[in-house]
Amino acid sequence: MPREKWNEIIAVNLSSYFDTMRLLLPPMAARGYGRVINIASVHGLVASVAKSPYVAAKHGVIGLTKVAALEYASSGNRESGGITVNAICPGWVETALIQPQVQARVEKFGGDHLAGIADLLSEKQPSGRMSSPLDIGELALSLCGNSAHNITGASIPIDGGWTAQ
């Protein structure tokens, strides 16, 4: 892999998180309230072959999430809700991004689109179900409420059992 490609993947998938949190966390601390929800990936928890820069970046997002959670944990109080910093780690999500992989399965093994999805999921996601963007959004919303004031530094998989294996 060319160094430029590595740098690009790290910039988009790790450095951008650092830059955003560096700007937003101090004002949150001044208010005593804030929620940071980083969208990492199942690849922040486990590795896959031939994805070294992406896996490294997503592991970095989880590390960055934990450090920021520790650094801002004492900001605010229960009434204000304090500051929490967490990561959501999706597995396969039903978006256009996975369609080339589904199509490759259909071309390689035959069958229709649904068979391609089933084959893709069978490799790593035991539930056999993809998450939807709505599933991820609802999880993020649940982390924004005051009842989540003590959930911080967590990396929450939404992966149909991928990381439970």
Indicate which residues carry an active-site annotation. 54
Burial pattern 10-30, b for ≥16 Cβ within 10 A else e, equals beebbeebeeebeeebeebbe
27, 15 contact by CB (below 8 A): no
CA distance 130 to 134: 11
Those residues with Cβ within 8 angstroms of residue 27's Cβ, 6 or more apart along the chain or in another chain? 34
Strand-by-strand arrangement of the 33-39 sheet:
33-39, 82-90, 155-158
Taking the alpha carbons at both ends of the chain, their separation in whole angstroms is 30
Q: Which residues pair with 62 in a beta bridge?
A: none
Q: Count CB-CB contacts under 10 A for residue 83.
A: 24
